[in-house]
Structure 1
Amino acid sequence: MKFLLNDKVIEDSSLPSDFTALRYLREEQGLAGTKEGCASGDCGACTLLVGALEEGKLTYSTLNSCITPIQSLAGKHLVSVEYLATLNGQLHPAQQAMVDCHGSQCGFCTPGFVLSLAGLYENSQAEDMPIDRESVCDAISGNLCRCTGYRPIIDAGLSMVASATKDAPYIELMGKNDKIKAQLKDIQQQEADPVYLRPASLNALIDAKTTHSDAKLIAGGTDLMLENTQRFHDFGTLIDVSYVAELKQLSADDTKLTLGASVTYRDLEDYSQHRYPHIYTLLSRIASRQIRNRGTIGGNVANASPIADLPPLLLAFDADINMMKADGHARTVNINDFYTGYKTTLLGDDELITDFDIDLAKLAQFHRFYKVSKRMEDDISSVMLAVRFAVQDDKITDVRFAFGGMAATPIRAVNAEHCLMNKNTVDEHALEQAIDALRTELTPLSDMRASAQYRLDMACNLIRKAWLELNGTEVVTFSGHGLPESSLNIGGMSHA
């Protein structure tokens, strides 16, 4: 395994498959600026900035080093917080802005915030894009400050460009990208690691799985690696599917949209921003920027968590799941039939998800996604609802109400759907019947996030909200990071 760590090429073939990037930085390299806060990808103290060379373009993104195997970063550029101030003998604009705005309080989380803001700065400078409040809040959405001092940190993010030009222009990391590109090109071709396999094609993946039948598949690892960091389970051989070209496809033909299983949330964000804005808005509420940079659609579905946010979306569109066995046999299962119980699916032990197909005609119909959680970002849904209405001549010809966080599996409210079928879009009596049916059809769970009664009441209100939007009523929805300033001032008190 070879990678570029700050300004040094590292070669190491002694590590197990599940050795995390956080442990490698601290234990093997003595770079203790990167902190361990939660070891579960929730707090951002361990944030690492990683550059990847793809099709000749160098881009940087953040990830949680506590749940990222160091082996998965082979061929990439790892930037630790210690490196930023050494580039030309002065603080990085993110660091200087944090100093100027008093953004560091207890200091434990500061390295993570700095790298998240540095990633935003680097990419904004490379793409000549402005830095605004929304982009700053998105960049630090996975960084938790236990001192509750987000206001000065946001101020620091907004003033980074000014910090860079106040005294002298900062020679940013991207300014050295020709040298970095050359170094990364030199280490792209690497010998196969015996415990961490990175097949580049579907055929190579099948061969790897056939040869290593007990090996675990890993893509982003944002859930799988918790078995290592939280339950102390040691993996043997891991097969990384994130390099398989066929599993990374994201394209549409005349009839369907195809989403490869290794497509990340970030990939889908970029694709849907202008094509499917409601999907884009939902994605901004899923996990954090660090998680969305690595987490994959296939992993979210195959993990079979009842609180996953993408399965309800796929249920609303009746998506087909294409799967393949290790022997090459392929089959297709509709997502309505995929989940068989808590954390169980139709996916066989020797099977993998290759991609998902969504009918473009259904994507063109009215759809909305509502996520209710205690925090705006980096939080798990108390209730998730995905809605789709098909309308013809003012009548509802098809309807889907798909819920997450309500039961042992993602579920549809079929009885409530039937109450609105072939009814006029403005038929409020039909809506009340659907809500009554929902109250008898759903038996939500109670846990630390919400009581069963709260979940049921919220589910009913969300259906009403979708019906109002279908009929053209503007309803207030706080989604993503673009909160109006007025919402941050309540009773004369400003809330950061």
Structure 2
Amino acid sequence: MTDTAIEPRGALRFRFRGREVALDRFSPRATVLDWLREDALAKGTKEGCGEGDCGACTVVLARLEGGRIRHGAVNACILLLGQLDGAELITVEDLADGGVLHPVQQAMVDQHGSQCGFCTPGIVMSLFAAYHSGAPATPASLNDQLAGNLCRCTGYRPILAAGLATCDGAPTDRFAAAAESRAAALAALADGRDLFVGDDTRFFAAPASLESLAALYRRFPGAALVAGATDVGLWITKQLRDLGQVIWLGRVAGLDAVGETADGALSLGAGVTLLDAAPRLAAIHPDLGELLRRFGSVQVRTSGTVGGNIANGSPIGDLAPALIALGARVVLRRGDAARSLALEDFFIAYGKQDRAPGEFVTAIETPRLGEGQRYRAFKVTKRFDEDISAVMLAARLDLDGRRIAGARIACGGMAATPKRAANAERALVGASLDSPDTWAPALAALGQDFTPLTDMRASAAYRMTVARNVLRKALLEVAGDAAPTRLGALHAAE
């Protein structure tokens, strides 16, 4: 697997119920939910949608980060079993201390937060993650935390009441009391070795370095690269693909690095989770923070990564158009060779990217806004939270006083790939923020840039109308129109 003398480890290792579990034989496509219900016989974790939407299967993974334990809620139905390596797996059956319910469980009882009970285990585990987050819960934070847990019986008021009663930022349960020993046990799992379970025809691998990843992927260019499995997991549960060769990127040292390039751009390693990327991108512009807040659910953002969202090339992925409008670059590596290209040039056609066999994404470099540059991003969906975009539009305007000197406009959901609106960009050059009539050619030019499809999410006519409306909204906001353009507390900011 590597050129070094260190042999790869041949067994998956994780913590479960106070002991270490080592598995040297399992299917590369096995999910955590499969293992829990069929092998561990831990059936408190339920299977609902099988695609990471309903949250009935929510479990918590505890990982050691910076010397401290971090608890993250994830969807067990689409998380691959091999992704447990180095973590502690906690399920709803593990929370009670003997015959005493966990504070979150007891609060759910006291507040009457459960009726049929099918979704309750997942809700409890999401609240458990919030309980251990280190921050006192608010109604808004709990709404975000529970957006990926769907309940059709109780309504959320009693569930929120249970969270507000317990998630005060100061956990006092038995997990907190045993934090030191738990951290030591997790540290003992971090051996820095490559993981390879199986043989050349069928395996689950988790390289520990970029060099190992480059060598392994060049050797097996047909293997499925998996980061968070929020998309690949559905290949298994919905498309029933038999993935025989899987390379998980979650143990690659340095792939989750965050830094700054020589020209001042924000560099996000491909392994940075969407949850961790959110504050960094929000620092560029608040619209990016709001876009990431509405990016799936907490469970999806905890697992999903920046590189995974870009590399899967989905025409309805939100991150690509948002970053294309900023002028982002994608950095790729094959063997020892690295290259970068403009993000919009990475997408060639539906399901096809400019990526050679054995080549993988290592980072996304996103320029920050300069003086005289203004940015807006809009996500339009049927359902406000945890939904796929019908239209996503982002725009950066380069201003010379009140005159538009340049523009970058990118859309998702409007074509077979995330795509720039080149004709609309040209038509905006020279337009005045004080003369809305000068914007009309650019709005009309969107019809030359895109030929959207009609599908279950929206009709082609609706998509085009929305794209024109949100571009106009962006121009109105940048121009400083006094009329409100957003609902509730959602306001654009410079």
| TM-score of the superposed pair, with normalisation by structure 2 | 0.90
Identical residues among aligned pairs (%): 40
2:262 matches 1:256: no
Partner residue of 1:222? 230
Q: How does 1:209-358 map to 2 (within 5 A)?
A: 209-253=217-261, 254-325=263-334, 327-358=335-366
Equivalent position of 1:19 in the other structure: 30
After superposition, give the CA deviation of every residue in 1:181-221 in whole Å (9 maximum; x if it has no partner). Answer: 12212222267333222222211111222333432211111
Q: Secondary structure at the match of 1:293?
A: helix
Counterpart Cα distance in 2 of 1:158 and 1:476 = 32
Name the count of aligned residue pairs. Answer: 472
Q: Please say if 1:386 is aligned against 2:394.
A: yes
Q: Tell me the SS of whatever aligns to 1:469.
A: helix
SS of 1:60 mapped into structure 2: strand
Farther-moved stretch of structure 1 (182-191 vs 371-380): 182-191
1:204–1:478 CA distance, 2 compared to 1 (3 A): farther
Counterpart residue identity of residue 429, structure 1: D
Q: CA–CA distance in 1 between the matches of 2:372 and 2:113?
A: 44
- Is the CA contact (8 Å cut-off) linking 2:284 and 2:369 kept in structure 1? no
Give SS of 2:229's match: coil
For structure 2, the 5+ residue unaligned runs are 1-11, 198-202
Tell me the equivalent position of 1:489.
Answer: none
- Is the CA contact (8 Å cut-off) linking 2:13 and 2:23 kept in structure 1? yes
The question of 1:152 aligning with 2:121 is answered no
Equivalent runs, 1:194-213 vs 2, <5 Å: 194=197, 195-213=203-221
The one of 170, 191, 196 equivalent to 1:193 is 196
8 Å Cα contact 1:92/1:170 also seen in 2: no
Q: 1:181 aligns with which of 177, 183, 186?
A: 183
From 8, 18, 36, give the equivalent of 1:7.
18
Unaligned runs of 5+ in 1: 485-496
Name the aligned partner's letter for residue 173 of structure 1: F
Partner residue, 1:51: 62
Aligned to 1:434: 442
The one-letter code of the counterpart of 1:365 is: Q
Going from structure 1 to structure 2, the CA distance change for 1:395 and 1:483 (only over 3 Å counts) comes to closer
- Distance in 2, matches of 1:270 and 1:199, equals 28
2:113 matched residue in structure 1: 103
After TM superposition, list the pairs within 5 Å mapping 1:32-111 onto structure 2: 32-86=43-97, 89-111=99-121
Residue identity matched to 2:131? Y
Q: What secondary structure sits across from 2:383 in the alignment?
A: coil
Moved over 6 A (4+): none
Distance 1:313 1:275, change over 3 A: closer
SS in 2 for 1:114: helix
Task: Judge conservation of contact 2:284–2:368 (CA < 8 Å) in 1.
Answer: no
Residue 60 of structure 2 aligns to a residue whose secondary structure is strand
CA 1:319 to 1:476, structure 2 compared with 1: closer, same or farther past 3 Å? Answer: same
Q: Report the 3-state secondary structure (helix = DSSP H, G, I; strand = E; otherwise coil) of the residue aligned with 2:463.
A: helix
Structure number with the higher helix fraction is: 1
2:380 to 359, 372, 386: 372
SS of residue paired to 2:427: helix
Q: How far apart are the structure 2 equivalents of 1:458 and 1:210? A: 43
Q: How much does 1:361 deviate? A: 4.4
**Quick one: distance in 2 between partners of 1:207 and 1:477?**
49
Letter of the structure 1 residue corresponding to residue 232 of structure 2: L
C-alpha separation between the residues in 1 aligned to 2:167 and 2:294?
Answer: 27
In 2, Cα distance between equivalents of 1:365 and 1:242: 36
TM-score between both structures, scaled by the size of structure 1: 0.90
Give the secondary-structure state (helix, strand or coil) at the position aligned to 2:74: strand
Provide the residue aligned with 1:464 in structure 2. Answer: 472
Report the equivalent of 2:407: 399
